[in-house]
Chains A and B, each alone.
Chain A
Amino acid sequence: MAFTKKVTLKSSDGELFIIDRAVALQSRTIQYVLEDTNPVDAIIPVPAVDARTLSKVLEYCKKHLIDLNTDFEDYSKWDKDFVDAEVWMLYDLIMAADYLHIPPLIDLICDKIASMFKGQTPDKIREIFNIDNDFSKEEEEDFKKKSGWAFK
Chain B
Amino acid sequence: MDAFNTPITLPMSYSFTSSGGSTSSGTAANTNINPWMDSRIWSKLPQRLIDRVIAFLPPPAFFQARAVCKRWYGLLFSSSFLELYLQISPRRHWFLFFKHKSLKSYIYRNSGGGSDRANCEGYLFDPYSNSWYRLSFSLIPSGFSPASSSGGLICWISDEAGPKSLFLCNPLVGSLSQLPPTLRPRLFPSIGLTVTPSSIDVAVAGDDLISPYAVKNLTTESFHIDGGGFYSIWGTTSSLPRLCSLESGRMVHVQGRFYCMNYSPFSVLAYDITANNWWKIQAPMRRFLRSPSLVESRGRLILVATVEKSKLNVPKSLRIWGLQACGTTWVEIERMPQQLYLQFAEVEGSQGFDCVGHGEFIAIMIRGSDKALLFNIYGKTWQWIPPCPFLSGGGGSSSSSGEGCELHGFAYEPRLATPVTTLLDQLTLPFQPFNG
Please, which residues of chain B bring their CB within 8 A of the CB of A132? 69
Show 13 residue pairs from A and B whose CB-CB distance is below 8 angstroms, ordered by the A residue. Answer: A90-B36, A107-B52, A114-B53, A115-B56, A122-B67, A122-B68, A127-B37, A129-B39, A129-B42, A129-B43, A130-B42, A149-B134, A151-B64
> What residues make up the interface of B, taking CB atoms closer than 8 Å to A?
1, 24, 27-28, 31, 34-39, 41-46, 49-50, 52-70, 72-73, 88, 90, 131-136, 378
Segment of A8-16, A35-43, A54-62, A133-141 in the binding face: A133-141
B45 touching A126 by the CB < 8 A rule? no
Complex alpha-carbon distance, A134 and B133, angstroms: 27
**How many CB-defined contacts (below 8 Å) exist between A and B?**
118
Residues of the A chain whose Cβ atoms lie less than 8 Å from the Cβ of B54: 114
A152 touching B41 in the complex, CB below 8 Å, given contacts A106-B52, A133-B69, A135-B69: no
CA distance A94 to B48 in the complex (A): 12
A110 touching B68, Cβ below 8 Å? no
The 6 lowest CB-CB distance pairs between A and B, nearest first, are: A130-B43, A150-B63, A114-B56, A118-B61, A122-B67, A150-B60
Query: CB-CB < 8 A to A135: which residues of B?
Result: 67, 69-70, 73
Interface string of A83-115 (1 = CB under 8 A from B): 000011011001000100000001100110111
**Which residue among A94, A117, A124, A144 has the maximum number of chain B CB atoms within 10 Å of its CB?**
A117
A90 nearest CB neighbor, chain B only: B36
Q: How far is the CB of B54 from chain A (nearest CB, A)?
A: 7
* Chain A residues with CB under 8 A of B56: 107, 110-111, 113-115
Q: Chain B residues near A82 (CB, 8 Å)?
A: none
Q: Which residues of B contact A106 (CB under 8 A)?
A: 49, 52
Determine if B136 and A110 form an interchain contact, defined as CB atoms under 8 angstroms apart.
Answer: no
Bound complex: CA A119 to CA B59 (Å): 12
CA distance A53 to B50 in the complex (A): 20
From the candidates B24, B39, B46, name the one contacting A127 in the complex (CB within 8 A): B39
A113 to B69, CA, bound (A): 19
Min CB gap A117→B, angstroms: 8
CB contacts (< 8 Å) of A94 on chain B: these are 45, 49
Majority SS at the chain A contact face: helix
Q: How far is the CA of A135 from the CA of B66 in the complex (A)?
A: 11
Inter-chain CA distance A88–B35, complex, in Å, is 10
CB atoms of B68 and A152 under 8 A apart: no
A124 CA to B62 CA in the complex, in Å? 14
A131 and B69: CB pair below 8 A?
yes
A87-B36, A110-B55, A120-B37 provided; 4 other pairs, C-beta below 8 A? A88-B41, A119-B61, A143-B66, A143-B67
Closest to B24 in A: A119
Chain A residues with CB under 8 Å of B69's CB are 126, 131-135
Q: Say whether, besides A126-B69, A127-B37, A134-B69, A152 and B53 are in contact (CB < 8 Å).
A: no
* Minimal beta-carbon separation of A84 from chain B (angstroms): 12
Q: How far is the CA of A1 from the CA of B69 in the complex (A)?
A: 53
Question: How many Å lie between the Cα of A2 and that of B61 in the bound state?
Answer: 46
Measured between alpha carbons, how far is A116 from B34 in the docked complex, in Å? Answer: 10
Residues in A whose Cβ lies below 8 Å from that of B52 = 106-107, 110
Chain B residues near A131 (CB, 8 Å)?
68-69, 72
Cross-chain contact B36 with A125 (CB below 8 angstroms): no
A107, B89: Cα distance in complex, Å? 9
Bound form: Cα–Cα A140–B67 in Å: 7
Of the candidates B44, B53, B56, the one having the most CB atoms from chain A within 10 angstroms of its own CB is B53
Docked complex Cα distance between A63 and B196 (Å)? 33
Say yes or no: B90 contacts A149, CB within 8 Å.
no
Contacts of A91 in B (CB 8 A): 41-42, 44-45
